[in-house]
């Protein structure tokens, strides 16, 4: 299996990733979220202030795990995010795909609330820049990660 470097951005270095149950449901439900895009991890790390940290991990995929991968924003991706964001759990170990960032999430929420149609969602979403997230939802999934280092990053504020 190929090793992949993934990044996690947060206010602190995370040497031992864990799954936290938060107040709000995330795109792929509760999990530990990373990305292959370093700049995206930097945005995550500095979203609450001037400074944050990017934790780097070596990820070795395990074919024995239940993995769901969305290559792009599709109808199935949208339905999965809507289900997760409205509190429906799933039984995947790892889920990977595009991220519903703040703008896309507003479109998702508008769709959930019935403010606009599925067609209108796709019309709004098609011009967004690429994003990526990979979320780890079980202890077995977290075991595929090996912490490498944490580096400080600085935002634009």
Encode pLDDT of 57-75 as tens digits.
Answer: 999 999 999 999 999 999 9
pLDDT in tens, the chain (157 residues): 689 999 999 999 999 999 988 777 789 999 999 999 999 999 999 988 889 999 999 999 999 999 999 999 999 999 999 999 899 999 999 999 998 877 788 888 899 999 989 999 888 887 677 789 999 999 999 999 999 999 999 987 5
Strand partners, 53: 10, 152
Would you say 151 and 52 are in contact if contact means Cβ atoms under 8 Å apart?
no
Cβ-based neighbour number of residue 83 at 10 Å: 15
Look at residue 157 in the predicted model and tell me its pLDDT: 55
Q: pTM of the prediction?
A: 0.90
Which residue ranges make up each domain of the chain? Answer: 4-154
């Amino acid at each position: 299996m190929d090793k992949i470097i993934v990044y996690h951005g947060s206010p602190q270095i995370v040497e031992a990733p864990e799954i936290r149950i938060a107040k709000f449901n995330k795109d792929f439900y509760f999990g530990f979220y990373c990305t292959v895009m370093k700049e995206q991890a930097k945005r995550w790390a500095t979203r609450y202030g001037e400074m944050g940290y990017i934790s780097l991990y070596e990820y070795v995929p395990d074919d024995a795990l239940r993995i769901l991968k969305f290559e792009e924003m599709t109808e199935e991706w949208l339905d999965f995010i809507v289900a997760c964001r409205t509190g429906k759990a799933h039984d995947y170990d790892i889920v990977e795909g595009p991220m519903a960032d703040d703008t896309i999430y507003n479109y998702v929420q508008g769709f959930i609330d019935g403010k606009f149609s599925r067609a209108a969602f796709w019309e709004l979403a098609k011009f967004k820049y690429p994003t990526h997230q990979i979320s780890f939802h079980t202890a077995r999934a977290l075991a595929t990660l090996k912490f490498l280092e944490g580096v400080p990053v600085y935002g634009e504020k």
